[in-house]
Amino acid sequence: MAILRFGDFELDVRSRELRRGSVSTRLQEQPLEILRLMLQRPGEVITRDELRQQLWPEGTFVDFEHSLNAAIKRLRAALGDDADKPTFIETVPRRGYRFVGSVRTSCDVRVVPGPAAPPTRLVVLPFSNLSDDSSQEYFSDGLTEELIAQLGPLCRGQVGIIGRWSSMFFKGSLQRACEIGQALNAEYLLEGSTRRDGSRVRITARLVEAATETQLWSETYDRSTADWLSVQSDVAGRVARSLLRELVPLPRAVVAPRDHPRAYQAYLKGKYHWARPGDVGLDEAVRWFGEAVTEAPDFAAALAALARVQVASAEYYHEVPRVALTAARESVSRALAIDPSVSEAHAVVGDLKRMLDGDWVGAEASYAEAISLNPSNTAALRSYGLLLALESRYAEAVSCVEQARELDPLCLGTSATGSWARYVAGDYESAIVHCRHMLEVDPEFVNAHRVLAASFLQDGKDDEAAAQLERALTFDPSHPVLLAWLAHVKAVSGCRTQAEALIARARATNDGRYVPPFHLALAYTGLGDLDQAFAALDQAWLDRDPALATLDAEPRFEPLRVDPRYAVLVDRIRIPRTRVGA
């Protein structure tokens, strides 16, 4: 483990502990990173601009001057340092800061850089449905997403492919190519249209240079519906070769065999429903992906997609998590047996190793493999960032999520993961700013309300925390997680009767939803009923609730950590030892 020593202090970079003798202090993300940078370069000036780039990357919405000054103030307070007569941190006027003490290291600091962003980026704009039948929308939208998925590995390391959420934002847009390119920081646009007539389909595709609005090539494909697969592979390969010249090999089909057009049609319908906001289309996505693999049992991409939505069924509590995750394991095992190069499948394996097995080392390796196969796989980047945050590797986590956000800047799910990483790092101010930005985009985005409420609570703003959850409940009054979280806020605010009533409402949900005991445990923790809290957490473990992985990272569970049952529970869950007891 990396230890940096100076004066009477030692900094454990992995656990974020600043120790002085037997006294330990947990540093928040920004003070930690500032101290780490200065300890690695003692005597050098660390400029304010460098700190801005390192701690608040481009696209981060925060008052930089205020946030940096606050972080330096917190760091000096932790060190007992005096700004006027510094022992450790010297202010260099109008430039930055310098560490003026001596540093000793016990081993090299382990730094895992985030994946480098490709120099060129392409956005696949939603293909227009020119058919008279609006029900064919699934085909044009599904084709768009499938092209995004295929171009990622084809252009690996050379061209970054913008994610589906940002692409779909421009569906039906009348904005010019240069405006879209500027908004998404993309140099190239792929646009087109589809028209289906009976058993024939005509697909037109155009590759455009955004800045000059120059059309590089255009092609029309007139095929039978049985040839859909060859059309998408042909288009993906043409785009890749146009951008990379001879660097990209001829594309290899990774989806349904050509003699199963019904399977491919079902697969595109699954993609269409999976792309809908939140969990709105989740059940339909499961149904259509399931139909695709029934029609074509050797359809690796559909099996991987089915596994992905089965994991999502566990995360959104559409069924008991253990049941959904076990089904996902069967699906993804079949996918990888057929085609071990499917990036999405490796990302799902990472999720399952973390959620079902407690194998965090194996999960990290699977996420890394998924990203290696397709560096534009934003879901894998987001999941990897979540794992890094849970292991207290906050700077790496934020870097990984920012890479995903750069590839899909309008995806609120990715932004929510970044906000949550900042929340568990103790950077509540930054988490609040990011959540407010998300709610400006979508006032009904429940995950933003949840993280914002939790951040408000940790920042001592109980009333604002309650208000956020109450507002979110107006969108879904029977949401058991929101009810449990509001019960916790009411409980710690002294409103015990209201908290108990909210718990009763959550338990009495009669719409067929699984009521997750993990979140009920949070409410019981707020009430101080630790026996009920641990009983609920034991049930959550039996159910393999994916949220259990956040137990030791979540500050609201702090009252449980002095109880001997806590250590037993985290051993059973296999939370990384870098977190437990930190």
Report all structural domains of the chain as residue ranges with CATH numbers, in order of start.
3-105 (1.10.10.10), 113-254 (3.40.50.10070)
- Rounded Cα distance between 5 and 20, Å, is 10
C-beta separation of 325 from 311 below 8 A: yes
Taking Cα atoms as reference points, which of 568, 569, 567 lies closest to residue 581? Answer: 567
Alpha helices in 121-245 (DSSP H): 137-154, 164-168, 177-184, 228-244
Residue type, 290: G
Taking 3-state DSSP, the helix, strand and coil percentages for the chain, each rounded to the nearest 5, stand at 55, 10, 30
Write out pLDDT tens, residues 477-506: 999 999 999 999 999 999 999 999 999 999
C-beta separation of 455 from 432 below 8 A: yes
Lowest mean pLDDT among 172-181, 225-234, 356-365, 458-467: 225-234
- Is the pLDDT at 429 greater than 70? The verdict is yes
- Is the pLDDT at 227 greater than 70? The verdict is no
- Is the pLDDT at 151 greater than 70? The verdict is yes
Taking Cα atoms as reference points, which of 363, 393, 384 lies closest to residue 582? Answer: 393
Taking Cα atoms as reference points, which of 9, 82, 6 lies closest to residue 40? Answer: 6
Three-state secondary-structure class, residue 117: coil
- Is the pLDDT at 395 greater than 60? The verdict is yes
Lowest mean pLDDT among 102-111, 162-171, 452-461: 102-111
- Rounded Cα distance between 119 and 245, Å, is 15
Give the contacts of 463 (CB within 8 A, at least 6 positions apart). 493
Tokens found for residue 436 = 């407010």
> What is the pLDDT at residue 239?
62
For residue 202, which phi and psi values (nearest 5 degrees)?
-115, 125
Per-residue pLDDT band at 237 (split at 50, 70, 90): low
Write out pLDDT tens, residues 16-32: 678 887 677 767 777 88
C-beta separation of 412 from 442 below 8 A: yes
- Rounded Cα distance between 407 and 120, Å, is 11
Lowest mean pLDDT among 313-317, 370-374, 511-515: 511-515
> What is the pLDDT at residue 265?
83
What is the DSSP track for 258-285?
TT-HHHHHHHHHHHHHHTSSTTTTHHHH
CA distances from 327 to 254, 307, 319, 422 (A): 22, 7, 11, 32
Per-residue pLDDT band at 210 (split at 50, 70, 90): confident
Residue that has been written with the tokens 């005991």 in this structure: 517
> What is the pLDDT at residue 500?
96
Q: Where do the DSSP E strands lie in 210-363?
A: 214-224
> What is the pLDDT at residue 228?
62
Tokens found for residue 378 = 């934003």
Give the contacts of 117 (CB within 8 A, at least 6 positions apart). 160, 403, 406, 407
Q: What percent of the chain has pLDDT over 70?
A: 86
Bridge partners, 105 (sequence order): 4
- Is the pLDDT at 531 greater than 80? The verdict is yes
- Is the pLDDT at 382 greater than 60? The verdict is yes
- Of residues 511 and 221, the one with the higher pLDDT is 221
C-beta separation of 331 from 292 below 8 A: no
